[in-house]
Chain A
Amino acid sequence: MKLRNETMKTIIFDIERNSFVDGPGIRTTVFFKGCNLKCKWCHNPESQNREKEILFYKNKCTWCGRCSELTVDDEHFLCFNDAKEICGKEYTVDEVFAEVIKDKAFYETSGGGVTFSGGECMLQIDLLLEMLKKCKENGIHTAVDTAGHIPWESFEKILPFTDLFLYDIKAMNEEIHKEYTGVTNTCILENLKKLLKSNVDVWVRIPIVPDVNDTEEEMKNIKAFFESYGYPAKIELLPYHAMGEHKYEALGKSVEKFDVPDKEKIEKLKNIVVPY
């Protein structure tokens, strides 16, 4: 328990209050930096690297030169043209908690709480565990948003302090999964089986990316998986959107382009996989 609080720090790239989309009720979502998947459609590319980074929007830059010696630790830096920003800030458990507790009254009325997301928040399991414990001690509903490519032991650690998992199935087809996320789905699906068996609530989220996983076959396979191992409390389809594209450029990364799926398609796929 010595590790607790002040000494442990992690890089958080955003704390979003009043989130309506990361679980039940009104929530505060804490985004960890660092991910062990590299999904080609990721709309938060700044979440992938665990270290702080500089985002540079070249077209806004006037080349004034003020940032020539900028380092990622320069907290007070400000580009007057919004061309450069530092992504990521160090937080201790207590600092994160101080933000989360502010909306407690909203969680209580709405059945909401905190959602730890990322990136992959479970990569920093000890710190996450401390945060979860602290929230639970204070009566806050906790959710963990994970891609699931994590040793089962990590899940076991946090299970007693987690009310809900938001769990992604990105593809059932192993090759597609490997090609588009960088890893196979074996461990992910194994973990999901175990989670579905345990007492915790699970919401499964399926990103729908055209020409990757938007097929009836994929949905049927997911359905078959649920039929064998149990249905999660909720299934959500998340249509791909291109809102993260500009950030790839700002990070000097190349961006993969995908189409945005149409509404009818989503409806059709949803009807296959969602049992109600």
Chain B
Amino acid sequence: MTDRIAELTKLTLEGKMFAEMTATEFDREDIFLSKQEMESKRLCEHILNQKPVLTQYQKMTGFFLCRNGIVVGDAFHRQGHKAWEEMRKDFYLKNIDNLSTLEWQHATADYKKVLEKGIKGIIAEIDDSLKLHTEKEEQEFLSALKNVAETLIKWAHKCSEKALEMSEQTDIPEYRSNLKTLSEALKNVPENKPSSFYEAVLAIYVCFSADPDSVGTLDRYLNPFYEKDLKEGKLTRDEAKEYLQELFLMLQAATHIANGNFTRGGESHFCIGGYLPDGSDGFCDLSKLILEALIDLPTWIPQVTLRWTKKTPKEVFRFALDCERKDPNKRIAFQNDEKRLKCYTEICGFPFEKAVGYTTVGCNEPAFLGAITGSNSKINFARCIETLFHKKSEKIINTKDFDEFYSVFLEEMFSDLETAYEYDNKYNRMRAKDINYLSSIFFQGCIEKARSLTQGAGDVVIASPMYIGIANVIDSLIIVKQFVFDEKIITMAELVSALKADWQGYEELHALILKKGDFFGNDTDRSNYVAQKLYQSLYEFLKDKTNLFGYHWLIGDLIGYNPHHKWFGEKMEATPDGRHKCDSLKFGLGQSEGKDRNGLTALLNSIAKVDPNAIGCGSTVTNLMIDEQLVKNEENFEKTVDMLETYFKNGGVHFQLTYVSKEDLINAKATPDDYKNLRVRVSGFSDYFVKLNEAIQDDIIKRTTQK
């Protein structure tokens, strides 16, 4: 790490690089303007009134925030969006009928476009669109975008002046020259197409303000600049690394140090590698450099995912896993392009060239460059099981075989899903009342359609609500099949009574189920059969369904930062999988409470085979806990690499690793002070174990540590 980056790292970790907001006093007569005119005018005034974060160590500047609620925010920070605020008050973390609850959405701006034509080019697009859209609302929207876009250029010019001023105050010749270069560069970007790799990174740095979330497919849109400059001798690999590090430090600094999310990876998440439109594997030297640059920094944000393809060389996969095992801050995860692209081409119907442009954002939500995640809800998927056994038991008590039981179950499940998806649409309808000026400039479809990002302007978007309790449902179905129909150990009536009594008086049955239940993850014929049958039903139900904007529904299973699995579970009666009344539900299909007993390959097989149609390629994560000893020994590490590669070849969608022993976790919960540095993967993000809330801590402890 260079001295300059070391200084910037220090400042970043001290919270001194945060873009504090400067308050702006608006003309009170603004309110006589139309909504769009007023909101965009204030936004522009806010932007130009901000002060760039600038120290003598920087080669880049120009990041600002709009999150004080006085002006409308961006796609990620919704403060100032009235409808959103109103909805959030009543529905965020407050579920409806214990079935659905509102959650955050993520998005990534179209940085490729910024680098291809500059904001000036985007303004030209707006001008063209203004000629086509003549409705007053459309005209107002497009004019607002144009004003904001022009303001961004002015803002860059303001930053340019500040950099020049700063350079004059600096005695160190190197820094003085850096700042002069910066000042010059800001006269060119993001207004115009960048003329170098440095300017390209700088353009992203400034435009990140419009959607401070994910930098998307960073390696592929930066690579043309990287290769050109290297070839022409204008750039060294080390210089490129420094620029990337300066960008990454800004991503870290974009979150306030006092915010709990400062040390969570999910705040900014992007992808490297994966298929290119021509069908080749896109992992290149720049992708490798990105990993190297990131791992050098003692930060938490951003986190990065390697998109694996069948063409990814083993050395690349091993290199990334090696970085991962050496990274104390757990910033690297892995995605299977084969499975995801099958989903995005076959189910969503995107052409291959577009489908390959996906990235994962937030915890692990799929989004495309210049698009948002099209859904914003969590679904209690296990509620239908509760309903059947506790409220509608007369419907199942006389079912003659598993198939008959299953069809009654399906009816209930579909009915819950219909309701839950309708709520998802309602959240979106509400959100559409807000107009997003800042992010809409950089999002596909908004300019052409003269419609805000929030109003379904995007054309490649995925809508993936997250199902909580999939594993509970699968295991409940398995137990019914095994205990009631296959082995006839109990009758359905007895099972119903046991559940209504929350297993009281049925302790032996409960113990028998926990010990002998053929649970998911053991790679047995029965457990695989039931799980695959369920995913097949879900696929058939969803394969032609889209949300109100026409975005295809998919299935995800992550929980995000909030313990929704606890909140849903604590209002639920007992379920056949051995779950007690009020116990948390499970999220994801990973290890659980020692129910997977046949080892990690068995679990990985079960997961990889569960969903051959790939309907589950929404916001899906698989957390794997692996014994630390396994990767300390080189020979075992090699075998671990092989094991995980096989899992992808077999059809697994995603994984991220935690290396830890169960004893560590139990001790950490008891004496957190001794384990301040213990970092674990949660639901698509990583965090310090001791900072997690108790429900999530318990959940992690319960997952088996696989040898």
Contacts and interface: CB of A to CB of B under 8 A. Distances in A.
Contacts of A80: 507-508, 511
A78 interface: yes
B645 interface: yes
A276 to B, nearest CB: 15
Contacts of A16: 599
Given A78-B512, A78-B515, A17 B646 contact: no
B643 A78 contact: no
A26 B641 CA distance: 11
Contacts of A102: 523, 601-602, 605
B602 A18 contact: yes
Given A26-B642, A26-B643, A110-B646, A103 B605 contact: yes
B512 A106 contact: no
Nearest to B648: A109
B605 A20 contact: no
Interface in B642-656: 642-643, 645-646, 649-650
Contacts of B515: 78
Contacts of B639: 20, 25-26, 110, 112
A242 interface: no
Given A110-B639, A110-B643, A103 B630 contact: no
A76 interface: yes
Nearest to B600: A18
B598 interface: yes
A106 B601 contact: yes
B646 A106 contact: yes
B315 to A, nearest CB: 14
Q: Is the interface of B mostly helix, strand, loop or mixed?
A: helix
B602 A17 contact: yes
B636 interface: yes
Contacts of A112: 639, 642
A218 B512 CA distance: 50
B360 to A, nearest CB: 25
B313 to A, nearest CB: 14
Contact of A109 (B508, B649, B707): B649
A61 interface: no
Q: Is the interface of A mostly helix, strand, loop or mixed?
A: loop
| Size bracket, chain A contacts | 10 to 19
Contacts of A18: 599-602, 643, 706-707
A95 to B, nearest CB: 12
A26 to B, nearest CB: 6
Nearest to B639: A20
Contacts of B523: 102
Contacts of A103: 601-602, 605
Contacts of B601: 17-18, 26, 102-103, 106
A187 interface: no
Nearest to A102: B523
A16 B601 CA distance: 10
A156 to B, nearest CB: 32
A95 B212 CA distance: 56
A26 B507 CA distance: 39
A251 interface: no
B632 interface: no
Contacts of B508: 80
Contacts of A67: none
Nearest to A104: B646
Interface in A1-43: 16-18, 20, 25-26
A167 to B, nearest CB: 20
Contacts of B706: 18
Query: Which residue among B511, B638, B646, B707 has the maximum number of chain A CB atoms within 10 Å of its CB?
Result: B646
B516 interface: yes
Interface string A83-116: 0000000000000000000110110111110000
Interface string B483-507: 0000000000000000000000001
Nearest to A76: B516
A18 B523 CA distance: 13
A20 B511 contact: no
B498 to A, nearest CB: 16
Nearest to A75: B516
Nearest to A108: B646
A103 B602 CA distance: 8
Nearest to B511: A80
Nearest to A80: B511
A178 B512 CA distance: 45
A248 to B, nearest CB: 23
B531 to A, nearest CB: 15
Contacts of B638: 110
Given A18-B600, A78-B516, A105 B642 contact: no
Given A18-B599, A18-B600, A103-B601, A78 B642 contact: no
Contacts of B642: 25-26, 106, 109-112
Interface string B589-611: 00000000011111001000000
Contacts of B630: 20
Nearest to A82: B515
B639 to A, nearest CB: 5
Given A20-B636, A103-B601, A106-B643, A78 B511 contact: yes
Interface string B501-532: 00000011001100110000001000000000
A78 B598 CA distance: 19
Given A78-B512, A78-B515, A80-B508, A17 B643 contact: no
Given A25-B639, A26-B639, A103-B605, A17 B511 contact: no
Interface in B603-647: 605, 630, 635-636, 638-639, 642-643, 645-646
B646 A105 contact: yes
A18 B707 CA distance: 8
B646 to A, nearest CB: 4
Nearest to B644: A109
Nearest to A106: B646
A17 B706 CA distance: 11
A242 to B, nearest CB: 18
B602 A109 contact: no
B145 to A, nearest CB: 50
Contacts of B643: 18, 26, 106, 109-110
Nearest to B314: A109
Nearest to B645: A109
B318 to A, nearest CB: 12
A143 to B, nearest CB: 15
A17 B590 CA distance: 17
A18 B630 CA distance: 12
Contacts of A111: 642
Contacts of B511: 78, 80
A268 to B, nearest CB: 20
Nearest to B489: A76
A111 B598 CA distance: 21
A112 B635 CA distance: 13
22 contacts: A16-B599, A17-B602, A18-B600, A18-B707, A20-B639, A25-B639, A26-B642, A76-B516, A78-B511, A80-B507, A80-B508, A103-B601, A105-B646, A105-B649, A106-B643, A106-B646, A108-B646, A109-B643, A109-B646, A110-B639, A110-B642, A112-B642
Given A18-B600, A20-B635, A103-B601, 4 more contacts: A26-B639, A102-B523, A105-B650, A106-B643
